[in-house]
Amino acid sequence: MNERDARHNRVKNMNRFMTGVFYGVGGFFILLLIVLAAYIVIQGIRSIYPGVFGFTRNGIGNQFFNTVYLVLIALVISTPLGIAAGVYLAEYAKQSKLTELITMSIEALSSLPSIVIGLFGYLVFILMTGMKWNLIAGALAVTIMSIPLITTTTRDALKALPPDYKSSSIGLGATRWQTMWHVLLPACVPRIVTGIILVAGRGFGEAAALMYTAGQSTIINWSNWDITSPTCALNPFRPGETLALHVWVMRTEGSMNPHSTDIANVSSAVLILLVLGFNLLARYLSRRIDRRNTGQ
């Protein structure tokens, strides 16, 4: 065997070794995630008692609704703003100090601790407006955390597209906006949905920022559908405790409730299943949209 063959064998062996290492690392994290999720879900199932899914003081029905409602409000606000910002940075912004400043601000905003955003939201959305804790303030706090991720995901997705997408569309007579709306953005749907999934997951599990904005109380009268009433479920200006915050409250201040540990366990399990269900639904819709756009 000559020196060239020996070097080739060493490269192949190193490639196999590193491939095995990376597979092992990936498998370890997948196993860790499965074990952790299974433990939380099993603990939650074992802690189920009659009435835990009800809409009473000993149930988590109101908190579940608050969680879904708040995240939907945050996504309705943050998704179009984030996508618009990503489109601007990827296709319209020229390389200048302003663009660098915007990019730097987005990166800085995405790295802020949630407790800091919560305090900012409390100052701006609660104290400066003179309102009490409410779901809109919580949704806006989550929006502040969500916009940078959606913006970055959209920008990177657009920049990663082959240049033929844009040049072919413009060559056929489409305007720049038509190219963006009918060609580029549809091609980026799977990656943009990934960003939305990450944002929603953070919103479902957020507690620190909502402690100062959405509040730790929930009073809902399910027979009252007057949206201006403080007890109407659909009123976005009422306080609304979410599941993640409810877990924290039950673990730290739930000594007066005999079911506090069980409520915390069930809430944690429901949160895991809620995030999983949202991910599966978003992936399914993303594949449907992608197949329709590609004519499959």
Task: Give per-residue pLDDT as tens, 19-49.
Answer: 999 999 999 999 998 999 999 999 999 999 8
Q: Pick the residue with more confidence: 131 or 58?
A: 131
Q: Model confidence over 166-223: pLDDT tens digits?
A: 888 888 888 888 888 888 888 888 889 888 888 888 889 888 889 999 988 888 989 9
Q: Which residues contact 41 (CB under 8 A, 6 or more apart)?
A: 269, 272, 273
Number of domains in the chain: 2
pLDDT of res. 135: 94
Same domain, 122 and 255: yes
Helix, strand or coil for residue 162?
A: coil
Q: Which residues contact 151 (CB under 8 A, 6 or more apart)?
A: 82, 83, 85, 86, 89, 106
Query: What pLDDT does 73 receive?
Result: 95
pTM (2 d.p.):
0.87
Pair (125, 203) in one structural domain:
yes
Whole-number average pLDDT of the chain = 87
Token output for 285: 């819709």
Range of 98-107, 148-157, 165-174 with top mean pLDDT: 148-157
42 and 20 together in one domain:
yes
- Clarify whether residues 36 and 125 are in a common domain: no
* 3-state SS assignment for residue 262: helix
DSSP one-letter string for 111-161: TS-HHHHHHHHIIIIIITTT--S-HHHHHHHHHHHHHHHHHHHHHHHHHHS
Q: Which amino acid is at 232?
A: C
Element (H, E) at 97: helix 97-110
Within this chain, do residues 20 and 89 fall inside the same structural domain, yes or no? Answer: no
What is the percent of the chain with per-residue pLDDT over 70, rounded to a whole number?
97
CATH code assigned at 167: 1.10.3720.10
Is residue 215 within 8 Å of 133, Cβ to Cβ? yes
**pLDDT band at residue 136 using 50, 70 and 90 as cut-offs:** very high
Answer yes or no: are the C-beta atoms of 181 and 206 closer than 8 Å: no
The rounded percent of the chain whose pLDDT value lies above 90 is 41
Does one domain contain both 63 and 12?
A: no
Report the pLDDT value the prediction gives residue 122, as an integer from 0 to 100: 93
Query: pLDDT tens across 250-271, in order?
Result: 888 766 777 788 888 999 999 9
pLDDT of 24 reads 93
Residues 124 and 237 in one domain: yes
Confidence of residue 2 (pLDDT cuts 50, 70, 90): low
Determine the 3-state secondary structure of 111 from DSSP. coil
Same domain, 131 and 198: yes
Is 244 found in the same domain as 141?
yes
For residues 279 and 80, which has the higher predicted lDDT (pLDDT)?
A: 80
Compute the CA torsion angle 7, 11, 13, 19 (nearest 10 deg): 180
Q: Alpha-carbon distance 229 to 216, whole Å?
A: 19
> How sure is the predictor about 8, in pLDDT bands with cuts at 50, 70 and 90?
confident
Rg (CA), the chain: 24
The whole domain housing 24 covers 1-46
pLDDT attached to residue 1? 54
